[in-house]
Amino acid sequence: MESNLSYIDVRDVKIYSGRKVNFQLSYQNIGRDFNDSPVVVVNHSLTGNSNVSGKDGWWKDLVGKGKLIDTNKFSVLSFNIPGNCFGNEKNDFVDELVLGDVAKAFNQAILKLGINNVHSLIGGSVGGGLVWEMGILNPDLFDNLIPIASDYKSSDWLIANTHLQSKLLENSSDPIFDARIHAMLTYRNPISLNKRFLNQHDGNGRKVKSWLDYHGHNLKNRFQLKAYKVMNKFLSSIDVESYSNSSFDELMKKVKSNVYIISIDSDLLFTDYEQREIYKKVSLVKKNVYYFQIRSDHGHDAFFIEYDQISSFLKRCFK
């Protein structure tokens, strides 16, 4: 995959701590040439990367030829969040960063590429938090903001879960394995697991345990401990208000983009209640905001699964 990555340097970015740093970012560009086509920027989730389409693309059912985000029509751009261990970037300051710093670097990279207008900015989970951060930092850059299963500010519930994740990552004798097992219980929900496994056994005991162990081993084999710690910190640091030193309501008044808020009715991590409250808040200051609820038993992970529902809601945006 390294051969498909491009790199860009973004210099003198003032991060939240107050000092200036030079970012090296890796990214992938698929579809049409971004110099003469509408651009869609896709933000990846916690253990994801810039590989959004093609045979091994994590969102290949939504991004590709003839798909919702049609690469025959759009130029699709996806950056790797610094520290996610997918590229060979040299950013020795990632431990100092919050998600708003990443948003600032991404926006500056987009502008440095000569892109002055982005058709759509889309992402789920921490990638959706990054949508809020990027869209508010540059309120004129994006025509459409599409945060999926995310929030503009890390909630107390999210902080509680990322705190437990950080304890597992710091103190466990098998940190990635154990943290991933816990994380899977926030990415899915009781209905999903109970319907799937039906109290069944396999040769090793209950099937649900084997399934959790599989996900623990799988992530352990492809992800790095430092990357998990960095990405977990980013998930806990979503906070457009602190970085911008203003209230969410006032910030949204300046955002010209259409906003498509996509919720999941069974999400335990970013609850549907949160999403409806955000929609109400934005609706008080903007008319071009839309809300859609994915109906699914699969919980937070439904944005990796319920492609037909997502496509149905967003077809007006990507027509």
pTM of the model: 0.96
Domain assignments of the chain as residue spans, ordered by start? 2-154+240-314, 156-233
pLDDT tens sequence across 31-81: 999 999 999 999 999 999 999 999 999 999 999 999 999 999 999 999 999
Give the separation between CA 114 and CA 57, rounded to whole angstroms. Answer: 26
Q: What is the pLDDT of residue 194?
A: 97
Q: What is the pLDDT of residue 1?
A: 40
pLDDT tens sequence across 117-126: 999 999 999 9
| Positions of the chain with pLDDT lower than 50, given as ranges | 1-2
CATH assignment, 2-154+240-314: 3.40.50.1820
Answer yes or no: CATH 1.10.1740.110 is held by domain 156-233: yes
Pick the closest to residue 311 from 289, 290, 292 (CA basis).
Answer: 292
Q: What is the pLDDT of residue 244?
A: 85
* Sequence-distant (≥ 6) Cβ neighbours of residue 303 within 8 angstroms: 124, 125, 148, 149, 262, 264, 294, 310
Decide whether 2-154+240-314 matches 156-233 in CATH topology: no
| DSSP annotation string for 109-177 | HHHHTT---EEEEEEETHHHHHHHHHHHHSTTTEEEEEEES--SB--HHHHHHHHHHHHHHHH-SSHHH
Q: Are 263 and 269 in contact (CB under 8 A)?
A: no
Q: What is the pLDDT of residue 2?
A: 44
Q: What is the pLDDT of residue 3?
A: 52
